[in-house]
Structure 1
Amino acid sequence: MSTDSGPVGKAVYLQSNEHENSVISITIGHDGKLYGGMTTSTGGMGGAGIDGTTNKPAGPDALSSQGSVVVKDNYLFAVNAGSNTVSMFKIDGINAADLSMIGNPSAVPGDFPVTVAASVKRSLVCVGYTGKMAGVSCAPFTHEGLGPMKQVLDFDLDQTTPPVGPTNTVAEVFFTADDSRLITTVKGDPTTNNTGFISVLPFKDSCSCALQGHDVRTSPPGTAVLFGSVNIPDTSDLFVTDASFGTTILDLHPNTDSVSLLHKTVITGQKATCWAAYSEARNSVFVTDAGRDRLIEIGAHDSKIMSTLDLKNGDPGLTDVKVSGRFVYALSPGNGTTPAAITVVDSFQGQEIQHFQLEKLGGSKRAQGMAILQW
């Protein structure tokens, strides 16, 4: 279904991330609002990192990552942090909230997987993990399911399982827009003078799904806790949040695979700006803050703040976020006292149009991830 501001999605997906993990799928109506909802077991276990401040299981932001659930074509992939696996689903062609798991969850050769990326062009799925054995593994996939996972990157983070965070952990793994490189953001820890970095792992050629044997790691000056990312269309630039101050735009050099800082935006009053989603309808990026109940919109090319929307729905903060057409979907896992919910915002009107609570679908303060199936 399309509007004058672009297509409206079919369904939104996240994971409960509970001990018995499940994918929560909710139908998107033609008006952009959420309706109904279903839960489908992943066959794996969710998990929670250890909050370095309280020394207790983290929540909200139990995985401290972006991309724990992704959709590519009619397939959905979700990590299971507690059982070191990744699950693959087929999305029903008529009812997009209806998922069917393909095969069994595939074992990841690492600890505490928190983020997953998929490339249809290369028929490849890659998973980032951030426990005692941290790194990235990839596997081929077909309509019959996932192949065996093979480790392609090793990160020496000196972590535990579950990891102590949110700093000093893997934040996101994703493919560049042209599928030529695999990018991983790894958060540093300013309190220990540990600088985060961007890992760029190129493919050997345009046809092979095989990755190069080594990556290029860059710590752009002025950054510290690099987190959620989006590819900026028609460029090689990356929009990456930094939880220590706001957002950046980074230039990915095609010849060296290193990155450099183009723009840095300090967000006044921010607590932890971590998640980002691109809006084609507005050529902007919406970012969320785990400690603030507000959406900030930033120009995709000039990094200037375009709008700020303070929400009044009682959420303690927002985590994962996605955009479809004119509508923004932002998850608040709550904090155990306030319920988990998804706020739907009409970005053209600059106002909230729905506050969809997730408790009836098994959503709690451990909920994580956000993906959308488009028309």
Structure 2
Amino acid sequence: MSWQALISLTGVALWFGMIGLLAQSFAQESGTANALVGNVFVMTNSTNPIRGNEIAMYGRKADGSLVIQGYFPTRGLGSGPAPTSTTLGAPLSVAADGIGSQHSLILNKNHRCLFAVNAGSNTVTAFQVHAGIGLRLINTVNSGGVFPASLAVQNQVLYVLNTGLSGTLMGFTVSSDCGLAPLAGGRQDLAVFTASSPEPKPNDILTTPAQVAFTPKGDKLVISVKGGPAANDDGRVVVFNLTSQGRIAGEGTATHFSAAEKTGGAFGFDFSARGDLIITHVGSFTVSSFTIASNNTLRANGSPLSTGFPFPCWIARSGSYAYLAHFGELPGQGQINGPGTISTVVIAEDGTLSPLKVQGATVTFTSAINANHAIDIAVVAGQDGHSFLYAVQPRLGRVGAWLINADGSLKDLGTFPGLTPGVNPDAPETLQFRERCFLAKKPASACVFGSAQGIAGF
């Protein structure tokens, strides 16, 4: 027997042995107050040369609390912390936002498949989900571009948004066992829509594309672009038509944004119940609502709504409420890095937005550490009609959890450990961190810290 075959058989044996042990543990907790009823997944986004990027798997209890269950390697590298940015002038640390995107980790509709980007190795990993038990890696494939950052899945088609260099979209077919294979004719160059700052390589995350998603009907693909360093480049949303097989049909249609109109920067987005596009404007501290017209342009539903907090990036919807995760103040030389915040907006039936004005509509990530940023967020539906909101807190290496009340307000459920705490963005050496961890021959001290990003659950 060859050593390759022996290793393969050993891996299978270890997998089934682990499944048996976890299943026994899961069964012991069933029927108790501590019963696990779902899972939440967070990507470590690590560049550790031995362990690489991993998925931290949490068991979710009925009350929304989390317990770590295990770590599952992707066979790829994450991005690590983001280097200090000079795009806005003075050096600004954005270390906590290593990828600069939304939906770098996603589940398919039936929660059987989990997909993760490996931004540092230009690959995407597909897992099978065994609820309450573990993840089984199916395959890791080339992303079809540089620095994969966001994923979208609909039925048997997955698209990856590569944000490095000029940017590309790459389509894949999803097999019945969750495996990925390139979709013929599924690659789209985005050079005409992107103008990202090339430094630090493979691009400064403050200017790159941020998200890709299918529309609710699945007939269009949407991407957001934050905007380049050139004057008056304040970002855009691009809409592509799709064929019935999920391939991109024709050229994309871009709607450009303007800081003067309070729509500077396009970051995270979600869709309302009637299909309106609700998008955060990271450069203007606003959120706005648009209807996608038949010609793929965007028609505004009312005026942009000021969020009242700096750098709204990530968004997740629950019914008629949208929750926005604000990164917090960017630190510079001699500044104190402000904490992250989650705010809540109400989506009216006509698509217009208004702030939720009840106690608990806003939460601030207070801690002994000033730089307790908010990163990705996810809404997870519970079994009893309740829903929960989860957010990555990379500076602390924890996941924050809130119960979503009937009036849209949030009840704090605490934070849960399991991730490596992140680099201190206020440290003087962090402002000298100018090269990506996975590209550096002599990695900076920041590279040994965590940079968790990407969250999904059920």
TM, length-normalised to structure 2? 0.71
Greater share of residues in strand: 1
Which residue of structure 1 lines up, in the alignment, with residue 453 of structure 2?
Answer: 368
> What is the alpha-carbon distance in structure 2 between the residues aligned to residue 159 and residue 106 of structure 1?
27
CA contact (8 A) 2:59 2:69 kept: yes
1:17 aligns with 2:73: no
CA contact (8 A) 1:330 1:342 kept: yes
1:294 aligns with 2:341: yes
Which residue of structure 2 lines up, in the alignment, with residue 226 of structure 1?
Answer: 266
Which residue of structure 2 lines up, in the alignment, with residue 210 of structure 1?
Answer: 247
Q: Secondary structure at the match of 2:248?
A: coil
1:341 aligns with 2:398: yes
Which residue of structure 1 lines up, in the alignment, with residue 106 of structure 2?
Answer: 70
CA contact (8 A) 2:128 2:135 kept: yes
Shift of residue 364, structure 1, vs aligned partner: 5.4
Which residue of structure 1 lines up, in the alignment, with residue 117 of structure 2?
Answer: 79
Q: Assess, with a 3 A threshold, how the Cα gap between structure 1 residues 212 and 218 changes in structure 2: closer, same or farther.
A: same
Shift of residue 69, structure 1, vs aligned partner: 0.2
Q: Assess, with a 3 A threshold, how the Cα gap between structure 1 residues 17 and 127 changes in structure 2: closer, same or farther.
A: same
1:303 aligns with 2:341: no
Q: How does 1:1-375 map to 2 (within 5 A)?
A: 10-19=38-47, 20-48=52-80, 49-53=82-86, 58-72=94-108, 73=110, 74-92=112-130, 94-95=131-132, 98-103=134-139, 105-120=140-155, 123-144=156-177, 145-148=179-182, 150-155=186-191, 156-160=194-198, 162-189=201-228, 192-204=231-243, 207-221=244-258, 222=261, 223-233=263-273, 235-244=274-283, 245-253=285-293, 255-262=294-301, 263-268=303-308, 270-280=309-319, 283-291=320-328, 292-301=339-348, 302-306=352-356, 307-314=361-368, 316-325=372-381, 326-334=387-395, 339-348=396-405, 350-359=410-419, 365-373=450-458
Shift of residue 211, structure 1, vs aligned partner: 2.0
Q: Secondary structure at the match of 2:250?
A: coil
> What is the alpha-carbon distance in structure 2 between the residues aligned to residue 369 and residue 128 of structure 1?
14
> What is the alpha-carbon distance in structure 2 between the residues aligned to residue 130 and residue 59 of structure 1?
17
Q: Assess, with a 3 A threshold, how the Cα gap between structure 1 residues 309 and 57 changes in structure 2: closer, same or farther.
A: closer
Structure 2 unaligned regions, length at least 5: 1-35, 329-338, 382-386, 423-447
Q: Assess, with a 3 A threshold, how the Cα gap between structure 1 residues 252 and 136 changes in structure 2: closer, same or farther.
A: same
> What is the alpha-carbon distance in structure 1 between the residues aligned to residue 119 and residue 365 of structure 2?
31
> What is the alpha-carbon distance in structure 1 between the residues aligned to residue 70 and residue 292 of structure 2?
39
CA contact (8 A) 1:23 1:42 kept: yes
> What is the alpha-carbon distance in structure 1 between the residues aligned to residue 295 and residue 346 of structure 2?
27
Greater share of residues in helix: 2
Q: Secondary structure at the match of 1:200?
A: strand
Q: Secondary structure at the match of 1:212?
A: strand
CA contact (8 A) 1:220 1:260 kept: no
Q: Assess, with a 3 A threshold, how the Cα gap between structure 1 residues 312 and 355 changes in structure 2: closer, same or farther.
A: same
CA RMSD in angstroms comes to 2.4
Shift of residue 294, structure 1, vs aligned partner: 2.3
Shift of residue 197, structure 1, vs aligned partner: 0.8
Shift of residue 230, structure 1, vs aligned partner: 0.6
Shift of residue 351, structure 1, vs aligned partner: 2.6
Q: What amino acid is the match of 2:76? A: G
Q: Assess, with a 3 A threshold, how the Cα gap between structure 1 residues 260 and 314 changes in structure 2: closer, same or farther.
A: farther
Shift of residue 340, structure 1, vs aligned partner: 1.5
> What is the alpha-carbon distance in structure 1 between the residues aligned to residue 420 and residue 266 of structure 2?
34
Q: Secondary structure at the match of 1:213?
A: strand
Q: Secondary structure at the match of 2:172?
A: strand
Q: Secondary structure at the match of 1:99?
A: strand
Q: What amino acid is the match of 2:250? A: G
Q: Secondary structure at the match of 2:249?
A: coil
Q: What amino acid is the match of 2:163? A: T
> What is the alpha-carbon distance in structure 2 between the residues aligned to residue 365 and residue 242 of structure 1?
27
Q: Assess, with a 3 A threshold, how the Cα gap between structure 1 residues 102 and 12 changes in structure 2: closer, same or farther.
A: same
> What is the alpha-carbon distance in structure 2 between the residues aligned to residue 370 and residue 300 of structure 1?
23
TM, length-normalised to structure 1? 0.86
CA contact (8 A) 2:68 2:418 kept: no
> What is the alpha-carbon distance in structure 1 between the residues aligned to residue 398 and residue 83 of structure 2?
23
Deviations 1:269-316 (A, max 9, x none): x22110000113xx2011111113322110123311112223434462
Greater alpha carbon shift after TM alignment, 108-117 vs 342-351: 342-351
Q: Secondary structure at the match of 1:47?
A: coil
**Structure with greater Cα Rg:** 2
Shift of residue 14, structure 1, vs aligned partner: 1.6
Aligned length: 350
CA contact (8 A) 1:241 1:276 kept: yes
Structure 1 unaligned regions, length at least 5: 1-7
Shift of residue 189, structure 1, vs aligned partner: 4.5
